[in-house]
């Protein structure tokens, strides 16, 4: 039997005494692309950051390659695990090439070797050699995240953690980067733990998907099994054809929880957008979208919580 | 403009020296401030409360007036370059500390997280990620401090550290606008050049900057060390207070000493500072000799409770008290008395046969006086004159410089003065005799430590040649030659000594 590469056993995490991860048990196998999906506050990012100890668990054990993460030196552990952030966070004072070679430089890899590797990796993500000496600020968001991905790959880590890496990107860039991840995963056969709030993305990428809510792991299964045999009503809410068959019965809330809300819009369109309550239904949303490019979602007290645009709703409908 | 150019050409050598001193003081102060402020800011960035306390503290330090700070430091570190650098460091801390702290704490947390997740150690993260990101704002803090240091360093001249402030002080003292302008413009230019230099440093690689600064430190340190060692080498340092008269006197001292013992190395520090600076410098052996007045000794240095009447008694009491209280040797005084006086135009004196202050009683109705506020206010000034000599006349308070102009233009006909002022000669004025000894006696004489006097008997005997020499008329003439005719104090001093056969040509 194959041993899991990453394993959580009875893991708890508390922030200021409040439990945010409750009794987490999870085995991630070598070579898997594992997606953790859930709405904000579900504990998926916390789970991810406990693997490379950016956050420390409160109790329980987490093992990487059969050894507890506490028994690694921090540097050894983190060199085994690449990391890609939602904020991308390239080092702004370094060129693209310097950013990519941060880890190999620390590992004292010969500079000629590092040079060749940087060229290879840039080519791998569709950036030519001219990008070597550019500064991060000169790149588009999508280009920056390509660099962010190969920065994580450069140390040849067996594991890569990705924390909502594409949620700040526009739909086109997101689409092509999702394809890129699948291609790289097939090529390098590394183990990826991918966090997203976007169910569509989870279904597209995951070998297996773990669904989290309120600090608990509700179900872990292949995309197919999850859609066919949801473990409980909440999971079923995401995928049930019956529930979504009548647009009148799909609540705005459910669409939000499925991860199809646009959170950040600060333009004129957003200010003039018609508003809709979280308790309203999808039919009403579609009616408003017929005459406006954007709909503003408000809570019971009239506070804006986010937006729907045509694209987010169409993507939601495509999951039904 | 012509004056300005002429002064500039005359003082070129002194200007280069002052620029060098100014640059050295500023460089060390800035370097020390950087070495203190940046590590402290790095250390406290994780403790916002401590950082707030330090920000408040450095802010308070910065509000202390620089003159007061220099004064406060004298009892602890004496005078000269060291207290000047300490004071400048104190001022430079705030901008560097504040900018470093802000630059480091405003780094995006996600960038920090990325560095952590790459497995960087805290020190690697600091040098590769955090400091480079904070560098532009740190540099701007350093630049602010640098400009402030170069400006404030002009005050260093007040405590004998030299620099461009010497020009400004001398200019104020001699009422010479060209000197003030040269000092001020040079300081401003220096700030601009250094600011440009920092811009260049900013573009250089960090390693090269460290190498460059290191080289400057080694060369500068070596030079300072060499100067310090060579000073141990039996050098006689003679200093003087601000102004032409002390500078003439110390040049005479130098000529007399080297005439007797040409191998002795004598260094002059003219315009070194005020009384208390010079006295504490003498006590701490930073200087060996300076000319001091008998009246000032009793008043300021020994705080004598009694003031004898005759010049000889004043000198002897001062000499005795200095020997007892401070182990000082006070050599014999010169003839002239640099005290207050009452002066009228030569022509006015002739017409009404005025020789003494008493003679003024006969012309009381014709008098219109202009006098300095200080003289009108002092107990031993105008009030005592009126009481002792039983005279009364209308008086206007005036700025000291304006008095001479006003009497020259016949707006007034009586003024107060110092008995050695060069203006007395310049505007043809007569000082009336003070037969009743209303004004205190101020005779100049060389002051040194007993230890120095014992070690250098030939210096003592050389300086004693001046005892009883130089009349008031003569010193007025010499002050006139320096202040008005712009001759060098050295040549004026030498001319006097040769003329009176105190040294050979």
Hey, where are the domains in chain B?
2-230, 234-336+442-499, 340-432
Is there a contact between B117 and A93 if contact means CB atoms under 8 Å apart?
no
Is there a contact between B124 and A87 if contact means CB atoms under 8 Å apart?
no
Which chain A residue shows the shortest CA-CA distance from B120?
A75
Q: Please state, in angstroms and rounded to a whole number, the distance separating the CA atoms of residues B265 and A102.
A: 62
Whole-angstrom CA distances from B111 to A81, A176, B123, B201, B407 are 17, 25, 15, 26, 76
Is there a contact between A78 and B115 if contact means CB atoms under 8 Å apart?
no
Is there a contact between B132 and A93 if contact means CB atoms under 8 Å apart?
yes
- Cα of B199 to nearest chain A Cα, Å: 17
Interface test with B, best of A55, A84, A91 (most B CBs within 10 A): A91
All residues of chain A having their beta carbon less than 8 Å from the beta carbon of residue B108 are: 87, 89
**What is residue A237's predicted lDDT score, i.e. its pLDDT?**
64
All residues of chain A having their beta carbon less than 8 Å from the beta carbon of residue B114 are: 83, 85, 89-91
pLDDT digits (tens, 9 = 90+) for A264-306: 777 777 778 888 888 888 888 888 888 888 888 888 788 888 8
Strand, helix or coil at A15?
strand
**What is residue B221's predicted lDDT score, i.e. its pLDDT?**
79
Is there a contact between B108 and A83 if contact means CB atoms under 8 Å apart?
no
> Does domain A240-319 correspond to CATH entry 3.30.2290.10?
no
pLDDT in tens, chain B (505 residues): 677 887 787 777 778 888 988 998 999 999 999 999 999 999 999 899 999 999 999 889 888 888 888 878 877 776 778 888 999 999 899 999 999 999 999 999 999 999 999 999 999 999 999 999 999 899 999 999 999 999 999 888 877 778 898 888 877 766 678 888 999 999 999 999 999 988 888 888 777 888 888 888 888 778 777 766 655 556 888 999 888 899 999 999 999 998 888 888 888 888 877 777 788 788 877 789 999 998 888 877 888 778 788 888 889 999 999 898 889 999 999 999 888 899 999 999 999 999 999 899 888 888 899 988 878 877 778 888 888 899 988 888 887 778 888 899 898 999 999 888 888 888 999 999 888 888 888 899 999 999 888 988 888 988 999 998 899 889 989 988 988 888 889 999 999 999 998 888 7
> Which tokens hold the place of A64?
């990487």
- Cα of B118 to nearest chain A Cα, Å: 6
Is there a contact between A54 and B135 if contact means CB atoms under 8 Å apart?
no
For residue B164, give the nearest of B27, B20, B3 by alpha carbon. B20
The CATH code of the domain at A6-228 is 3.40.50.300
All residues of chain B having their beta carbon less than 8 Å from the beta carbon of residue A103 are: 118-119
What's CA B393's distance to the chain center, in Å?
Answer: 38
Is there a contact between A89 and B135 if contact means CB atoms under 8 Å apart?
no
**Do B2-230 and B340-432 show the same overall fold?**
no
Q: Which CATH number fits domain B340-432: 3.40.190.120, 3.30.465.10, 3.40.50.720, 3.40.50.300?
A: 3.40.190.120
Strand, helix or coil at A33?
strand
Residue A8 touches chain B, beta carbons under 8 Å: no
Task: Show the DSSP H helices in B327-381 as ranges.
Answer: 346-351, 373-377
Is there a contact between A89 and B108 if contact means CB atoms under 8 Å apart?
yes
**Residue among B110, B117, B133 whose CB faces A52 most closely:** B117
Residues 89 to 108 of B: which have CB under 8 A from any A CB? 108
Q: Fold for domain B234-336+442-499?
A: D-Maltodextrin-Binding Protein; domain 2 (3.40.190)
Residue B137 touches chain A, beta carbons under 8 Å: no
Residue B234 touches chain A, beta carbons under 8 Å: no
Residue A15 touches chain B, beta carbons under 8 Å: no
- Cα of B185 to nearest chain A Cα, Å: 38
Strand, helix or coil at B448?
strand
* Residue matched to tokens 């954007």: A294
How many CB pairs (< 8 A) connect A and B? Answer: 56
User: What string of H, E and C letters represents the secondary structure of B188-237?
Assistant: HHHHHHHHHHHHHHHHCCHHHHHHHHHHHHHHHHHHHHHHHHHHHCCEEE
User: Both ends of chain B: CA-CA distance in Å?
Assistant: 37
**What is residue A241's predicted lDDT score, i.e. its pLDDT?**
41
Q: What is the ipTM of this complex?
A: 0.75
**Residue among B108, B113, B118 whose CB faces A102 most closely:** B118
Q: Please state, in angstroms and rounded to a whole number, the distance separating the CA atoms of residues B328 and B464.
A: 16
All residues of chain A having their beta carbon less than 8 Å from the beta carbon of residue B129 are: 91, 93
Packing angle between helix B48-63 and helix B12-44, nearest 10 degrees? 160
Which chain B residue shows the shortest CA-CA distance from A75?
B119
Q: What is the dihedral of CA B488, B493, B499, B503, to 10 degrees?
A: -130
pLDDT digits (tens, 9 = 90+) for A80-106: 999 999 999 999 999 999 999 999 999
Q: Could you say which DSSP state residue B327 is in?
A: -
Q: Where are the beta strands (DSSP E) in B212-327?
A: 235-241, 265-273, 290-293
- Phi, psi angles (nearest 5°) of residue A61: -130, 145
Q: Fold for domain B2-230?
A: MetI-like fold (1.10.3720)
- Cα of B206 to nearest chain A Cα, Å: 13
Residues 50 to 69 of A: which have CB under 8 A from any B CB? 52, 54
Q: Please state, in angstroms and rounded to a whole number, the distance separating the CA atoms of residues A274 and A298.
A: 10
Beta B414-418 vs B369-372: how paired, if at all?
parallel
- Cα of B89 to nearest chain A Cα, Å: 30
All residues of chain B having their beta carbon less than 8 Å from the beta carbon of residue A151 are: 118
Residue A240 in this model has a pLDDT that exceeds 60? no
For A46, how many CA atoms within 13 A lie in the half-sphere containing its CB? 25
- Cα of A49 to nearest chain B Cα, Å: 9
**What is residue A246's predicted lDDT score, i.e. its pLDDT?**
62
Is there a contact between A87 and B132 if contact means CB atoms under 8 Å apart?
no
Is there a contact between A85 and B119 if contact means CB atoms under 8 Å apart?
no
For residue A223, give the nearest of A64, A32, A25 by alpha carbon. A32
Q: What is the dihedral of CA B418, B421, B425, B426, to 10 degrees?
A: -120
B111 Cβ contact list (under 8 Å, min separation 6): A89, A91, A92, B129, B133
Q: Phi-psi category of B285—alpha, beta or left, where left has phi over 0 and alpha has psi -120 to 50?
A: left
pLDDT digits (tens, 9 = 90+) for A54-82: 999 999 999 999 999 999 999 999 999 99
Interface test with A, best of B108, B114, B129 (most A CBs within 10 A): B114
Across chain B, which distance is largest between two alpha carbons, in Å?
100
**What is residue A242's predicted lDDT score, i.e. its pLDDT?**
40
> Which tokens hold the place of A84?
């890609």
CA angle A13, A18, A21 (to 5 degrees): 30
- Phi, psi angles (nearest 5°) of residue B263: -80, -20
* A307 membership: H or E segment, kind and range: strand A304-309
B14 CB-contact burial (10 Å; exposed 0-12 / middle 13-18 / buried 19+): middle
Quick one: CA dihedral A183, A186, A189, A194, positive or negative?
Answer: positive
Residue A106 touches chain B, beta carbons under 8 Å: yes
**What is residue B231's predicted lDDT score, i.e. its pLDDT?**
54
Residue A132 touches chain B, beta carbons under 8 Å: no
Number of Cβ within 10 Å of residue A56's Cβ equals 10
Residue A75 touches chain B, beta carbons under 8 Å: yes
Q: What is the domain partition of chain A in residue ranges? A: 6-228, 240-319
The mean per-residue pLDDT over the stretch A114-137 comes to 93
Residues 462 to 491 of B: which have CB under 8 A from any A CB? none
**Residue among B113, B132, B133 whose CB faces A85 most closely:** B113
Residue with more model confidence, B78 or A127: A127
Q: Please state, in angstroms and rounded to a whole number, the distance separating the CA atoms of residues A248 and B481.
A: 108
- Bridge partners for A163 per DSSP: A195
pLDDT bucket at A244, cuts 50 / 70 / 90: very low
For residue B84, give the nearest of B18, B154, B135 by alpha carbon. B154
pLDDT digits (tens, 9 = 90+) for A204-220: 899 999 999 889 998 89
**What is residue B44's predicted lDDT score, i.e. its pLDDT?**
94
Q: What is the dihedral of CA B394, B399, B403, B409, to 10 degrees?
A: -100
pLDDT bucket at A167, cuts 50 / 70 / 90: confident
């Amino acid at each position: 039997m194959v041993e899991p590469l990453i394993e959580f056993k009875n893991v708890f995490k508390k922030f200021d005494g409040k439990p945010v991860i409750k009794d987490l048990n999870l085995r991630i196998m070598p070579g898997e692309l594992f997606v953790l999906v859930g709405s904000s506050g579900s504990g998926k990012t916390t789970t991810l950051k406990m693997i490379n100890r950016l956050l420390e668990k409160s109790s329980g054990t987490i093992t990487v390659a059969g050894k507890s993460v506490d028994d690694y030196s921090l540097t050894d552990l983190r060199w085994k695990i690449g990391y890609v952030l939602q904020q991308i966070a390239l080092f702004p004072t370094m060129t693209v090439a310097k950013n990519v070679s941060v880890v190999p430089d620390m590992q004292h890899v010969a500079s000629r070797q590092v040079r060749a590797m940087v060229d290879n990796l840039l080519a791998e993500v569709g950036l030519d050699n001219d990008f070597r000496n550019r500064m991060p600020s000169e790149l588009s968001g999508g280009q920056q995240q390509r660099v962010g991905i190969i920065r994580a790959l450069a140390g040849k880590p067996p594991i890569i953690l990705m924390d909502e890496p594409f949620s700040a990107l526009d739909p086109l860039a997101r689409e092509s980067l999702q394809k890129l991840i699948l291609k790289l995963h097939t090529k390098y056969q590394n183990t990826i733990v991918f966090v997203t709030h976007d169910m569509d993305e989870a279904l597209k990428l995951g070998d297996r998907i773990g669904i989290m809510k309120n600090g608990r792991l509700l179900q872990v299964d292949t995309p197919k099994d999850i859609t066919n045999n949801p473990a409980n009503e909440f999971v079923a809410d995401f995928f049930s054809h019956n529930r979504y068959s009548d647009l009148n019965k799909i609540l705005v809330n459910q669409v939000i929880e499925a991860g199809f809300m646009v959170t950040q819009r600060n333009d004129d369109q957003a200010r003039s957008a018609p508003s809709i309550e979280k308790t309203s239904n999808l039919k009403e949303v579609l009616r408003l979208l017929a005459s406006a490019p954007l709909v503003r979602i408000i809570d019971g007290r009239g506070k804006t919580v986010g937006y729907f645009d045509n694209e987010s709703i169409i993507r939601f409908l495509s999951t039904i | 403009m012509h004056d300005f150019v002429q002064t500039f050409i005359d003082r070129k050598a002194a200007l280069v020296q002052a620029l060098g001193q100014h640059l050295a003081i500023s460089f060390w102060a800035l370097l020390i401030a950087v070495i203190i402020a940046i590590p402290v800011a790095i250390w406290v960035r994780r403790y916002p409360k401590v950082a707030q306390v330090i920000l408040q503290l450095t802010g308070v330090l910065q509000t202390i007036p620089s003159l007061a700070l220099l004064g406060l430091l004298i009892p602890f570190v004496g005078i000269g370059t060291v207290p000047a650098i300490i004071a400048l460091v104190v001022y430079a801390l705030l901008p560097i500390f504040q900018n470093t702290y802000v630059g480091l704490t405003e780094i995006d947390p996600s960038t920090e997280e990325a560095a952590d997740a790459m497995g960087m150690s805290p020190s690697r993260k600091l040098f590769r990620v955090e400091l480079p990101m904070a560098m532009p704002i740190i540099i701007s803090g350093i630049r602010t401090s640098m400009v402030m240091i170069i400006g404030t360093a002009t005050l260093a001249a007040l405590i004998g550290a030299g620099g461009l402030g010497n020009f400004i002080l001398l200019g104020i003292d001699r009422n010479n606008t060209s000197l003030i302008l040269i000092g001020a413009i040079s300081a401003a230019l220096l700030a601009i050049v250094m600011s440009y230099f920092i811009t260049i440093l900013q573009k250089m690689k960090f390693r090269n900057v460290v190498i460059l600064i290191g080289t400057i430190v080694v060369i500068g340190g070596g030079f300072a060390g060499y100067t310090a060692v060579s000073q141990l080498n039996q050098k006689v340092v003679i200093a003087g207070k601000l102004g032409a008269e002390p500078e003439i006197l110390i040049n005479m001292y130098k000529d007399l000493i080297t005439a007797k013992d040409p191998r002795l190395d004598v260094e002059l520090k003219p315009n070194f500072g005020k009384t208390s600076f010079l006295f504490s410098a003498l006590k701490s052996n930073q200087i060996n000799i300076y000319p001091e007045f008998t009246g000032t000794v009793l008043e300021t240095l020994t705080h004598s409770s009694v003031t004898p009447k005759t010049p000889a008694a004043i000198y002897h009491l001062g000499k005795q008290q200095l020997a007892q209280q401070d182990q000082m040797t006070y050599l014999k005084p010169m003839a002239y008395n640099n005290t207050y006086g009452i002066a009228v135009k030569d022509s006015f004196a002739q017409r009404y046969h005025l020789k003494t202050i008493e003679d003024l009683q006969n012309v009381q109705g014709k008098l219109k006086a202009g006098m300095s506020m200080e003289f009108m206010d002092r107990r031993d000034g105008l009030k005592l004159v009126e009481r002792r000599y039983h005279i009364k006349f209308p008086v206007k308070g005036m700025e000291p410089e304006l008095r001479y102009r006003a009497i020259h233009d016949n707006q007034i006909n009586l003024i107060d003065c110092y008995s050695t002022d060069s203006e007395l000669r310049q505007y043809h004025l007569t000082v009336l005799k003070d037969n009743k000894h209303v004004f205190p006696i101020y005779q100049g004489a060389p002051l040194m430590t007993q230890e120095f006097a014992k070690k250098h008997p030939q210096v003592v005997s050389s300086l004693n040649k001046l005892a009883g020499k130089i009349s008031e008329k003569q010193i007025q003439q010499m002050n006139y030659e320096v202040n008005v005719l712009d001759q060098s104090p050295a040549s004026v001093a030498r001319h006097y000594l040769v003329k009176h056969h105190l040294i050979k040509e």
